[in-house]
Amino acid sequence: MKKILLIQPSPYDQNRKPIKKKKLYFVGLALPLLAAMTPKEYEVEIILEILEDIPWDTDADIIGISSMGHGVIRSIDIAKAFKKMGKTVIMGGYMVSIMAEEAKKYCDAVVVGDAELVWKDLLKDYESGTLKPIYEKNLIGGILSTPLPRFDLIINKKIGDFLPVQAGRGCPNVCSFCSVACLYKGHYIKKPLEEVVRDIKQVKALGYKEFLLLDDNIFSDIIYLKGLLKEIKSLNMTWMSQCDIRIGKEDELLGELRDSGCTTLSFGLESISRESLLGMNKGWANPAEYPKLIKNIQDHGIDVSTEMVLGGDGDTLESIRATKGFIEENKISVPRFYILTPIPGTKFFKDVVKQGRLIKEDIYSFDGTEAVHMPKHMTPEELTNAYWELYNNLFTIKSIIKRNIIRKEFIKEPFKYLFYFGVNLYYRYQIKQKITPNIF
């Protein structure tokens, strides 16, 4: 049989070594979906590098490599290594999709956009010896429809207590730094409800009691979401997802989310500075409303997880330090931060280059832990130092206890918040090594 090796690379640490973990909680969906769409005459193997080593001596004919976030640096290194061995290398994912011309230097073909739309054609071209350098299609204006993902290829690995399910892709917002906005241009593409229910039932049949609704923004279509919640409620499972913070204004919807089994929502708050949000084309978000919205979500029994970026046009050293108080006062159990980074292909990158504010030319050194552009109100060195200072100050034992133990919810669900406490301790360990905590 012909063989395909699909790899989900691990990001590098500060010493340019792939980060390793004993357990991977947040599993990607792209590779199990591609495996499900691969013709039966191919054997498929999936490697999650954060858990296991890459089999460099593989007998696979085709190497498929995913790219997410700053892990694209590792993705390219893997591609170059397999190309030297004479393998046929395919790259895909958000990052190479927005920098396809650069990515194609290191592989035989780049998949831009939604790989499911071109995967079978790509394999036919491989078999006929007519592989193209770029395969590009996206779902804008269409319907998202997929087969059941091949979780049989990953469930025997050391993964967490839930599996991913997807209802939609894209987001109606077009934040200037966001790779999703580059690909979907303000569109949200929905999957038929019956397919989403089918996928959740598969997760349940595999013995899981929880799933991750792996959407870019489940708040994109309220009518669709309400219909989905009715279906999920009947399945008696718990779940989590991410969306727009403005969902905190929707009391009825929050009640339906809770009743359907939603336990946690993650939000990209980005900054407590209104000026910074305006500069990111995220003026629809008002940081003055954040505390009220967060409290309302929490009062409905849903935990809040946050991601923020530092270095926006309104950020100062004082506002970055004040972010610590914001996180503690709002009882954010597991916060994550990144330095605002101009990713090639995004509007933010184009703006920074045009303004002459890009201070590093090597895009492969961009890892979100070091300032690579000139902020408006501080030096790049000050931004980098403030970033690590914020992380270190928020992940002291005192702060971890304040955010996870000294809160009213702890009495009702002590084991959940003790789990969060453990996650914080692990993040603290990573931060001490100057590794940015990620959802892995």
Which pLDDT does position 222 carry in this prediction?
95
Q: What is the pLDDT of residues 301-348, one digit of tens each?
A: 999 999 999 999 999 999 999 999 999 999 999 999 999 998 877 889
pTM flag (> 0.85): yes
Hey, CA dihedral for 174, 175, 178, 182, is it positive or negative? positive
**Whether residue 69 has pLDDT greater than 90:** no
Do the Cβ atoms of 270 and 277 come closer than 8 Å?
yes
Which pLDDT does position 159 carry in this prediction?
94
The one-letter amino acid code at 118 reads: V
Give the ranges where 104-221 is alpha helix by DSSP (H).
119-128, 179-184, 193-205
Mean pLDDT for the stretch of residues 406-415: 93
Q: Are residues 323 and 196 in the same domain?
A: yes
Provide φ and ψ at 165, rounded to 5°.
-135, 145
Count of structural domains, the chain? 2
**Which range marks the domain in which residue 112 is found?**
2-137
Give the ranges where 63-118 is alpha helix by DSSP (H).
72-84, 94-97, 100-103
Q: Are residues 128 and 167 in the same domain?
A: no
3-state secondary structure of 407: coil
CA-to-CA separations, 245 to 64, 86, 220, in angstroms, rounded: 35, 48, 11
Q: Are residues 105 and 179 in the same domain?
A: no
Q: Could you tell me the CATH number of the domain that includes residue 261? A: 3.80.30.20
Provide φ and ψ at 178, rounded to 5°.
-95, 130
Distance from chain centroid for Cα 174 = 16
In a domain, 145, yes or no: no
Report the range of poorest mean pLDDT among 48-57, 341-350, 431-440.
431-440
Provide φ and ψ at 250, rounded to 5°.
-100, 85
How many Cβ atoms sit within 10 Å of the Cβ of residue 54? 18
The one-letter amino acid code at 217 reads: N
In a domain, 106, yes or no: yes
Residue keyed to tokens 């054609």: 121
How many Cβ atoms sit within 10 Å of the Cβ of residue 145? 10
Mean pLDDT for the stretch of residues 198-219: 95
Do the Cβ atoms of 113 and 97 come closer than 8 Å?
yes
Q: What is the pLDDT of residues 234-264, one digit of tens each?
A: 999 999 999 999 999 999 999 999 999 999 9
* Interatomic CA distance for residues 216 and 180, integer angstroms: 8
Mean pLDDT for the stretch of residues 18-39: 93
In a domain, 406, yes or no: yes
Query: Helix-strand-coil percent breakdown of the chain, rounded to 5?
Result: 45, 20, 40
Residue 83, C-beta contacts closer than 8 angstroms, at least 6 positions apart: 89, 106, 107, 108
Q: Could you tell me the CATH number of the domain that includes residue 63? A: 3.40.50.280
Mean pLDDT for the stretch of residues 85-113: 91
* Interatomic CA distance for residues 183 and 165, integer angstroms: 20
